[in-house]
Structure formats: C-alpha cells, structure tokens
Amino acid sequence: MLNAATLLKHKMLIGLLYGCGLRCMEVRNIRLADMDFERKLLHIRQSKGRKDRMVPLSEHLIRGLKKYIAAERPVGWLFTGSGNPQGQGFDGRYSQRGVQWAVKRIAKDAGIVKEVCVHTLRHTYACHLLEDGMNIVTLKELMGHANIETTMEYLHICQLDDRRMFSPLDTLFARCAPPVK
C-alpha cells in the first residue's frame, strides 16, 4: 500500500496507521507538536478512554514526515482536510471519511482484493510486532488497550514462530555454564 499511494500525504497516512498502529481518530488528531523526531516518538493524546500514550516512530517515517511537512506546510494539525471552514463542525482536520476513503482507494490501487479498512492496518501492526517477538504486555501499552485480554486476541490470528519456544532452563544453564576449553 505504501508503494501504491501516489500522494505523499497518503503515504504518510498509511505509514502512520500501520507503522504506529493508530486508530482513525488518532491519526486525525496528530498535531505537529505531537511528533518528537529527536526521540523518535509520537505522542497520542486523549485517545480511546481519554488516555495518552507514546509510540515509536520509524526512521523511515520520520524522513517522510519531514519531507511532507516541508512540502505541505501544515499548521496545527498534521493532516488537514478541505471543506467549508464556515461549515458546521469543520475544524481543519482531515475527516474520518477522508481517511477511510484514502485507505480503501490505496488498497484497491495496490491490487488488494480482500476488504481493507483503517483498522486492518492497526491489526496488521499488532500481528507483525507479535510475530517479530514483541511481548504482549509491551504491545498492550503501544496499542493503548485498557485490558490485556483485548491484546491477547491477536495471539489467535498471528503466525507465531514455533522455533522461538524454549525452556528457561536452557537459557539459565547457557548463562551459568563454564566456558568450554
């Protein structure tokens, strides 16, 4: 999908949704001040349950975001939308419908036949992190879940590598074993 997105704005939108595991509301609410490129962190403010959290920003995403900001010069919100500023409820942010449309359009352009929505990218983020060995408690924090049970649902759909299973005795003895001469 990143390759299929033709607009830099859409590449960054897809990159943040997948690369940070964001909800639609969260990507729409990103302000320029929420990105800390030095520490490689994105501050998610007042998300579901009115909670804040920090998620890591990839170096690739930071480069793209800097390019996007330099080209588009957004003020306030990272992603701005078009609309009637005098219209009821318009505050300058990219709309929920706009984000959803962009994701569906890009998935279609990428040749993905399966139904793809904003939340699909969030699910994929969680599964890929688990498959790469992230522990479930850390993932819970990154996802902003209130309960570990919600995060554990991803364990059923991920393809976890059986080769990573081992006994703690193996690592204990490996650390305590005298060096081989």
pLDDT at 178 > cutoff 70: no
Domain carrying residue 47? 8-165
DSSP class of 88: T
- For the annotated catalytic residues, the residue numbers are 23, 48, 119, 122, 145, 154
* pLDDT of res. 50: 83
Q: Is residue 172 part of a domain?
A: no
The shares of helix, strand and coil residues in the chain, as percent rounded to the nearest 5, are 50, 10, 40
Residue 178 located in a structural domain: no
User: Any idea what the CATH number is for the domain that residue 160 is in?
Assistant: 1.10.443.10
Q: What is the pLDDT of residue 1?
A: 94
Report yes or no on 63 lying in a domain.
yes
Write out pLDDT tens, residues 42-62: 999 988 878 899 999 999 999
Side-chain-facing half-sphere of 103: CA atoms under 13 Å:
26
Q: How many domains does the chain have?
A: 1
Strands (E), the chain: 35-36, 41-44, 53-56
Distance CA 144, CA 154 (A): 14
Q: What is the pLDDT of residue 158?
A: 76
**Two tokens, residue 114:** 């399966």
Q: What is the mean pLDDT of the chain?
A: 86
Q: Which residues of 141-171 are buried (b: 16+ CB within 10 A; e: fewer)?
A: ebbbbeeeeebeebeeeeeeeeeeeeeeeee
Instruction: Classify residue 181: in a domain, yes or no.
Output: no
Give domain status of residue 118, yes or no. yes
**138-177, pLDDT tens digit by residue?**
999 999 888 888 888 877 777 666 556 666 767 666 777 6
What global pTM score does this model have?
0.82
Q: What angle do CA 97, 98, 100 make, to 5 degrees?
A: 65
Q: Give the closest residue to 159 by CA, choosing from 122, 126, 115.
A: 126
* Within-domain flag for 2: no
Structure-token pair, residue 61: 């995403």
Mean pLDDT to the nearest integer, 129-138: 88
Residue 180 CA from chain centroid, whole number: 45
Q: What is the mean pLDDT of residues 4-15?
A: 95
pLDDT-derived band at 106, boundaries 50, 70, 90:
very high
Is residue 179 situated within a structural domain?
A: no
